[in-house]
Every structure is written in C-alpha cells, then in structure tokens.
Chains A and B, each alone.
Chain A
C-alpha cells in the first residue's frame, strides 16, 4: 500500500515536471488601469491575438485607475509585476524606465508606423529611446443629448458666446440640467474643464511649449482666461454639483437628465452602452476671433517588463500591438480611444468618428501639465485639479488660482537653466 502510494506520488511528480516541457504554452500577464475594458480585452482583443499565436496565453489584469501607479510601483519593486505593462504618458513611465523596470522597444517591428509626436510621451528626454509602444490617445470635447437639442430646437455652439447663450436657454427651459459636471472628484474640473477648453486660449502647442520653456507664465491672461470661463459654468451645473462625483455626472447624462456633458472621448463606449437617446459631439467652442484647438492626449502605451520570464513572447505581443490590425481592432472595440499609428484606420462608431474628424479641422495639442511640468513637488497636474475645482466652487478667484499654481511651479521648476 505504502509503496503503491509512493509510486503514485513519483508518477505525478514526473508528469507535473514534464507537462510544461511538452506543451510550450507561455502565459503573459498585462498590467493595466483600464478596468472598464476588461470585457473587451477578454472577448475581442486577446482571442484575436491567441488565434494568431496559439502557443501564447494572455491574461489582462487591470487595477483601479487611481490605485494603478502605486500598485504597479510596488509590484515592480517586489518583482511580482506582469510581463507587459500599460504605460501612463510621460514622467510616470519615464521614471519606471530609468529605474530599469521597462525594456527599450525601438527595435520592435512596427515602431516605424508611429510619428515622433505619438512617441513623445514615452521617450527619454533626448528622444533617443522609446520604451512603450503607443496604443491610443483620447480627445476632449462636449457630448450632447441630440434628442434634447432637437426638442429645444437648438444647435451645437461654435463660439464661446453661443455656448453660454445655449446654456442659458437650456436653463431657462428647465427640462434639462445644462451641464453634467461636478467638482467633488476635482479631476473632472481640471481635465474635462480646464484642459478641454484651455488650448483655445493658450494657442495649443505654442502656449504649451512656451510654458515649458518659461516664456509664458500661468499668471498670463491666456492661462487665466480658461479659469474665468470655467467659473462662469457654475450656475449651469446641477444642484449640489460640489458633491457630484464623476460617476454621478455620467449617470446624470445617460439618464437623460442633462443636456451637455464635458467629455473625454473614453466616455463614448460607456455612453453607447447606457444612453438610449441619440448623441452628438462638438469641439470646445472657440473664444471671439480664436482658432480651434483640441486636446488629443496620448493616453496609453504598452511596455515590456525588463525582468519578464518570457521576453520573446512579450516581444511578439508588442509587435502585434504596433500593427495596423491591432490599431483597427482596438479603435473599433473601444470607441473613444484613437489609434496613434500613421496608417489609415477606419472607425465605425459615429460618435468616435466625429471626435476623430476634429483632428483634421482643429489643431491638436495635449494637456499642458503633463510633459515635464509635473515632475516636481508640488505636482502641477494635481494642483490644477484642486485649483480648477476651487475656481468653479467659487472659493478662490481665477487670478488667485493661477497665482498659486505659478508659485508652486516656480518653487522647483527653473526653465532655461
């Protein structure tokens, strides 16, 4: 009996030991903060890849967006992070690369399909090494309830004046809350507010680069004006917007209770699933005599964990991510995330198409606080969240908000030195 048991143990050990060698299945894990996309990855993207590469199994392992950076840093330090790592744009990823956690991807096949601008968010400061394969950008704008607009007989606005006239009209009518936005989560105010309309005032890339070069200050009129405009939004936001969080705003709009939603394009897929009315979109209304700019923000990319146990399989996956096939699959599976590749990609979602069309009609730029300026403490991006929320809440004036931001920036950022 005893010997029989022992030989069974032996046998099972041998089988267990041999099994991996026989079937050379490699399994890769992807770290991400896109927990909203879990289903899309599991049902569309991963099966498409595994069909082409049956010997590689892929697991998508997302964390909550606000916890991702902290969790990832801790995992990388402990050596327990996944093989592929979704990259935040700019410094967060650069820091990971500098610490040696990410492998360079310059020699990955397909990297030549990306423009320098697309790669800029995931390069070293001298632009010599790229460490993430760009996946998608997000575009800001305003999504509106087309049925409500029809009912009220109004048209999407083009200029800032038209925008405020429209808000007033919707408010007077009283059926709908004009603007679905709250200040509780703070980032809504900064991202969907300040960074959404801001580029129209600071001339997009020109202003953004001048700020980095130190030629312009946040206290200049071009940078204070967006705050002034934001402050004027407050009367058109719902009752108690101070305690309205981001999901509240989303629900307010998809339930048909609000007319206009200051959006990031990533909201499109959520809204498509939840709203049962027609939706349209318009780019940020331009101020008097201004030009049209949009925030086309590089959002995420994919990198290889430098310490991965399966570098070959990870590289195969990255090559696939750099291909046109992936761009089309991804852009269509996740409407609202726009491929960064130079190849022509066809999107089928009408709302996403509208957003993408602005790349031709407006000048693209990205969020002013992301490149270099959020490198120190206090962090300009995080400070902007608080400042934008305070301005809308009316607890500080636009000038005070701008002054405190510039003071914080001055305390560590000395351009031109």
Chain B
C-alpha cells in the first residue's frame, strides 16, 4: 500500500487527448494560415520569382497615393460602418432585451424569435431581399412611402454615394440586432431576484432600476457585445459584396476593408489579383482588429467591476 501512495501521480494523458482535436484543428485552419498570410505579405512576385521585399508592400499600401487613397477610403467607410452599429444596433439590442425581460410582457418568446430570425438568414438572402425592397423600380419602399404621402422622401439609396453606406449599415443592423439582444437578455435574466428586491425595498423601481441596478450589472456583457461587433464589422464583406458587387459602388463609397481585400487579392474583371499585396491588406486588417481587441482587453475589461452573486 505504501508503495502505491509514494508513487508519483501518473501523467494525465487524458488532458492531452481531450485537448488535441481542438488544438490540431485550430492550428491547421486558423493559426498556420494566419502566419502564412503574414509571411506572404513580406514577399513580392518579380518576373515570376517570389522575392523577399521586407515591408515594401506595406510601404506601397500606405505610401503610394493611389493605394493609400483606396485604403484610407475603405478604412474610414469601415469605421462609419462600425459607428452606425455601435450607435444603433447595440443600444437597440439592449433596449429590446430590457423590454423582453420585463416579467409582465406577453408573447415574449414570439418577439424574441421574430427579432432573432434575420440573424440566421444568409447574407445572400438578406442582400437580395433588401435590394428588392429598396428598388426604385419594383420595390415596396417607394409604394409604401407613396401610401403615406411621403414619396418625395424616396431616393435610390443604394445607388447614391451619400446614402449607400449608411443604408447598408442599417440593413446590417436590422439583420444582427438579435445578437446583442440575446446576449444582454441572458445577462439580464441572470441577475438574482434578491438584488432587485433589495432595490425595490430602497424604492428604486421601474426605469431607475434599469439605469442604477441592471445596467451596471450587465456592463461586462455589453463589453463583449462591443468587441464582437468590432471584430464582425472589420471583417465584414458579404453584405457589401452581395448588394453592391466587388467594386463596392457607387464610386467606391461602400468599399470596406473586406471588399478592398477581395479585389486586391483575387483581382476583379480585368484586374489580375495580387496575392502579396492582398496579404498585406489582410495583415493590416488583422493588426487593426488585434489593436482594437487588445485595447478592450487591457484597457477596458480590466477596469470593469465584477459582481459576485
């Protein structure tokens, strides 16, 4: 018996075995391609030979007036896309979650499902449906506006430089408002009743209860939602591509980093693709997202107060 007790504990192989599938798959499909892309951005094709050029591709991207104007245009458009999401999607999501978690609301699950359904629709469907709705020729938008006598307000939004990007951002907000709603809804439900009852004893009820008790408790969830929105927006591509095509017209006004990357990497129409410059754009996108997420993780999340229930 004593011999067994003094034996060193056996190496716990099951941990390795259980972790292996995830680690291997993740390495193969995420980590290796990521480093391959970063590496590719440091090379360039010269006379059918791949040569190492250091940071030259990045110098072209940010220094050459043509490349840099496309790049900054895409970056600013992407920021606007993100701003619209932060200003509308997340507050609306929180408001909807607050309404849904109200104990006296009837048919809550019906609303919840209805609002969440667009999220699970394919981008292709959403893009085409909205293109049809907003079409000046066959869309319901002009006729609906006509019904209430506001036809003058109708514009061919998706074809107008001034409005196209905002219109697309709003479509995206419509599609994805279900995500913050669900996450915040779950966070609201997890607030223990004792806390709320204590608040009621202190005379904090109704809207004041939301601002003073619930909102501080769900701040960590809002933080997560913001990061998800940030990553999602700066990786966005599908909706713009489906609705406006790879040139992201009119006049590049809806061009975001995703569509810019697509055109650079794969080429478009007569433009032959340039995988090395494309990899440079992809690397910049990665760095932007990395910077944003790090800012959140180290700058904001560490300062959020966590409450133990």
Say if the beta carbon of A74 comes within 8 Å of chain B. yes
Say if the beta carbon of A342 comes within 8 Å of chain B. no
Q: For residue B269, which residues in chain A have a CB less than 8 angstroms away from its CB?
A: 66, 69, 187, 379, 381-382, 385
Question: Do B272 and A186 touch (CB < 8 A)?
Answer: no
Q: Rank and list the top 5 A-B pairs by shortest CB-CB distance, nearest first.
A: A240-B136, A242-B159, A243-B156, A243-B159, A70-B266
Besides the contacts A382-B270, A393-B251, what 5 more A-B pairs have beta carbons closer than 8 Å? A66-B269, A73-B273, A184-B249, A244-B156, A379-B269
Say if the beta carbon of A196 comes within 8 Å of chain B. no
Contact with B along A170-199 (1 / 0, CB 8 A): 000000000000111111000000000000
Question: Nearest B residue to A71 by beta-carbon distance?
Answer: B266
Within 8 A of A (CB), among B265-296: 266-274
Question: Do A92 and B270 touch (CB < 8 A)?
Answer: yes
Say if the beta carbon of B134 comes within 8 Å of chain A. yes
**6 CB-based A-B contacts, threshold 8 Å:** A73-B266, A73-B267, A99-B48, A240-B137, A385-B247, A408-B66
Q: For residue B268, which residues in chain A have a CB less than 8 angstroms away from its CB?
A: 66, 69-70, 382
Total chain B interface residues with beta-carbon distance under 8 A: 35
Question: Do A91 and B272 touch (CB < 8 A)?
Answer: yes
Which B residues lie at the A interface, using CB under 8 A?
48, 66-67, 131, 134-138, 142, 154-161, 244-247, 249-252, 266-274
Q: For residue A252, which residues in chain B have a CB less than 8 angstroms away from its CB?
A: 137
Q: How far is the CB of A121 from chain B (nearest CB, A)?
A: 12
Contact with B along A222-266 (1 / 0, CB 8 A): 000000000000000011111111001001100000000000000
Q: For residue B138, which residues in chain A have a CB less than 8 angstroms away from its CB?
A: 248, 251
Question: Do B48 and A66 touch (CB < 8 A)?
Answer: no
Contact with B along A284-325 (1 / 0, CB 8 A): 000000000000000000000000000000000000000000
Question: Do B272 and A243 touch (CB < 8 A)?
Answer: no
Question: Do A243 and B134 touch (CB < 8 A)?
Answer: yes
Q: How far is the CB of A356 from chain B (nearest CB, A)?
A: 26
Q: How far is the CB of A299 from chain B (nearest CB, A)?
A: 13
Which interface residue of A186, A187, A242 has the most chain B CB atoms within 10 A? A242
Question: Do B250 and A186 touch (CB < 8 A)?
Answer: yes
Known: A70-B267, A70-B273. A377 touches B66 (CB 8 A): yes
In the bound complex, CA of A225 to CA of B271 (Å):
26
Question: Do A92 and B252 touch (CB < 8 A)?
Answer: no
In the bound complex, CA of A242 to CA of B136 (Å):
9
Within 8 A of B (CB), among A338-389: 369-370, 374, 377-379, 381-382, 385-386, 389
In the bound complex, CA of A200 to CA of B115 (Å):
56
Say if the beta carbon of A115 comes within 8 Å of chain B. no
Question: Do A243 and B247 touch (CB < 8 A)?
Answer: no
Q: For residue A74, which residues in chain B have a CB less than 8 angstroms away from its CB?
A: 266
Q: How far is the CB of A187 from chain B (nearest CB, A)?
A: 8
Q: For residue B273, which residues in chain A have a CB less than 8 angstroms away from its CB?
A: 69-70, 73
Q: For residue B154, which residues in chain A have a CB less than 8 angstroms away from its CB?
A: 240
Question: Do B271 and A374 touch (CB < 8 A)?
Answer: yes
Which residue of the partner chain, among A92, A385, A408, contacts B272 with CB atoms under 8 Å? A92
Question: Do B136 and A239 touch (CB < 8 A)?
Answer: yes
Which interface residue of B159, B160, B251, B266 has the most chain A CB atoms within 10 A? B159
Q: For residue B157, which residues in chain A have a CB less than 8 angstroms away from its CB?
A: 243
Within 8 A of B (CB), among A92-142: 92, 95, 98-99
Question: Do A98 and B135 touch (CB < 8 A)?
Answer: no
In the bound complex, CA of A382 to CA of B269 (Å):
7
Question: Do B136 and A377 touch (CB < 8 A)?
Answer: no
Which residue of the partner chain, among A66, A240, A242, contacts B250 with CB atoms under 8 Å? A242
Q: How far is the CB of B219 from chain A (nearest CB, A)?
A: 41
Q: For residue B252, which residues in chain A have a CB less than 8 angstroms away from its CB?
A: 386
Q: For residue A70, which residues in chain B have a CB less than 8 angstroms away from its CB?
A: 266-268, 273
Known: A91-B272, A243-B135. A390 touches B267 (CB 8 A): no
Q: For residue A182, which residues in chain B have a CB less than 8 angstroms away from its CB?
A: 159
Q: How far is the CB of B203 from chain A (nearest CB, A)?
A: 54
Q: For residue A248, which residues in chain B have a CB less than 8 angstroms away from its CB?
A: 135, 137-138
Question: Do A389 and B250 touch (CB < 8 A)?
Answer: yes
In the bound complex, CA of A244 to CA of B144 (Å):
19
In the bound complex, CA of A378 to CA of B142 (Å):
37
Contact with B along A68-79 (1 / 0, CB 8 A): 011001100000
Question: Nearest A residue to B134 by beta-carbon distance?
Answer: A243
Q: For residue B155, which residues in chain A have a CB less than 8 angstroms away from its CB?
A: 240
In the bound complex, CA of A240 to CA of B159 (Å):
8
